[in-house]
Amino acid sequence: MSVQSVDTLVIGAGPTGLGAAKRLHQLNQGTWALIDSAPEAGGLASTDITDEGFLFDVGGHVIFSHYAYFDDVIHEALPKDGDWYEHQRVSYVRSKNVWVPYPYQNNISVLPVDDQVKAIEGMIDAAEVRVRAKDAPQNFDEWIMRMMGQGIADLFMRPYNFKVWAVPTTDMQCKWLGERVAAPSLKLVVSNTLNKKVAGNWGPNATFKFPAEGGTGGIWKAVAKTLPAEKLLFKKTVSKVDAAAHTVHLSDGGSIKYKHLITTMGLDYLIDNLDGAQEDIKTLQTAKPDLIYSSTHVIGIGIRGVLPPRIGDKCWLYFPEDDCPFYRATIFSNYSPNNCPQEGVKLPGLQYADPSKGKPDSEPQAGPYWSLMMEVSESHLKPVDMQTILEETIRGCVATELMKPDDVIVSTYHRKFTPGYPTPSLKRDEALAKILPVLADKYDIYSRGRFGSWKYEVGNQDHSFMLGVEAVDRALYGSPEMTLTSPDFVNGRRNTERRLQ
Ligand SMILES: Cc1cc2nc3c(=O)[nH]c(=O)nc-3n(C[C@H](O)[C@H](O)[C@H](O)COP(=O)(O)OP(=O)(O)OC[C@H]3O[C@@H](n4cnc5c(N)ncnc54)[C@H](O)[C@@H]3O)c2cc1C
Question: What are the tens digits of pLDDT across the range 389-446?
Answer: 999 999 999 999 999 999 999 999 999 999 999 999 999 999 999 999 999 999 999 9
Question: How far, in Å, is the centroid of ligand 1 from the Cα of 492?
Answer: 23
Given a cut of 60, whether residue 133 has pLDDT beyond it is yes
Residues 326 and 414 placed together within one structural domain of the fold: yes
CA nearest to 61, candidates 419, 409, 315, 434: 315
Q: Please check whether residue 84 lies inside any domain of the structure.
A: no
Residues 305 and 278 placed together within one structural domain of the fold: no
Q: Please check whether residue 327 lies inside any domain of the structure.
A: yes
Query: For residue range 10-22, what is the model confidence (pLDDT) as tens digits?
Result: 999 999 999 999 9
- What's the total number of domains in the chain? 3
Helix/strand/coil for 454: coil
Question: How far, in Å, is the centroid of ligand 1 from the Cα of 297?
Answer: 15
Residues 275 and 340 placed together within one structural domain of the fold: no
Show Cβ contacts of residue 186 under 8 Å, excluding neighbours closer than 6 positions.
120, 123, 124, 127
Residues 304 and 418 placed together within one structural domain of the fold: yes
Of ligand 1's atoms, which has the minimum distance to the CA of residue 16? 25
Residues 255 and 367 placed together within one structural domain of the fold: no
Query: Averaged over 211-236, what is the pLDDT?
Result: 98
Residues 287 and 348 placed together within one structural domain of the fold: no
Average pLDDT, the chain: 95
- Mutating to test ligand 1, I would choose from 233, 249, 264 the residue with most ligand atoms within 8 A of its C-beta, which is 264
**pLDDT for residue 163:** 98
Residues 329 and 405 placed together within one structural domain of the fold: yes
Of ligand 1's atoms, which has the minimum distance to the CA of residue 449? 26
Q: Please check whether residue 461 lies inside any domain of the structure.
A: yes
The pTM score is: 0.96
More confident residue, 45 or 104: 45
CA angle 448, 452, 454 (to 5 degrees): 105
Of ligand 1's atoms, which has the minimum distance to the CA of residue 18? 25
Q: Where residue 28 sits, what CATH number does that domain have?
A: 3.50.50.60
Question: How far, in Å, is the centroid of ligand 1 from the Cα of 497?
Answer: 25
Residues 468 and 411 placed together within one structural domain of the fold: no
Q: Please check whether residue 175 lies inside any domain of the structure.
A: yes
If you take atom 3 of ligand 1, which residue's CA is the nearest one? 59
Q: Please check whether residue 220 lies inside any domain of the structure.
A: yes
Residues 313 and 418 placed together within one structural domain of the fold: yes
Residues 303 and 328 placed together within one structural domain of the fold: yes
Largest CA distance in the chain: 70
Percent of the chain with pLDDT over 90: 88
Q: Please check whether residue 357 lies inside any domain of the structure.
A: yes
Question: How far, in Å, is the centroid of ligand 1 from the Cα of 15?
Answer: 7
Helix/strand/coil for 278: helix
Looking at 393, 422, 451, which one is the last position of a domain? 422
If you take atom 38 of ligand 1, which residue's CA is the nearest one? 265
Domain range holding 127? Answer: 105-195
Looking at 365, 398, 422, which one is the last position of a domain? 422
Query: Averaged over 278-287, what is the pLDDT?
Result: 97
Residues 384 and 471 placed together within one structural domain of the fold: no
**For 87-96, 222-231, 458-467, which range has the lowest pLDDT when averaged over its residues?**
87-96
**pLDDT for residue 205:** 57
Question: How far, in Å, is the centroid of ligand 1 from the Cα of 44?
Answer: 3
Q: How many CB atoms lie within 10 A of CB 338?
A: 17
- Mutating to test ligand 1, I would choose from 249, 318, 326, 450 the residue with most ligand atoms within 8 A of its C-beta, which is 450
Q: Please check whether residue 87 lies inside any domain of the structure.
A: no
**pLDDT for residue 202:** 59
Q: How many CB atoms lie within 10 A of CB 415?
A: 12
What residue ranges line ligand 1, CB within 6 angstroms?
Answer: 11-17, 35-38, 43-45, 58-63, 237-238, 264-265, 296, 375, 417, 420, 449-452, 459-462, 464
**pLDDT for residue 214:** 98
Looking at 368, 392, 422, which one is the last position of a domain? 422
- Mutating to test ligand 1, I would choose from 458, 460, 462, 483 the residue with most ligand atoms within 8 A of its C-beta, which is 460
Q: Please check whether residue 177 lies inside any domain of the structure.
A: yes
Q: Percentage helix, strand, coil, to 5, in the chain?
A: 40, 20, 40
d(CA 395, CA 404): 10
Given a cut of 60, whether residue 144 has pLDDT beyond it is yes
Of ligand 1's atoms, which has the minimum distance to the CA of residue 239? 41
Residues 363 and 329 placed together within one structural domain of the fold: yes
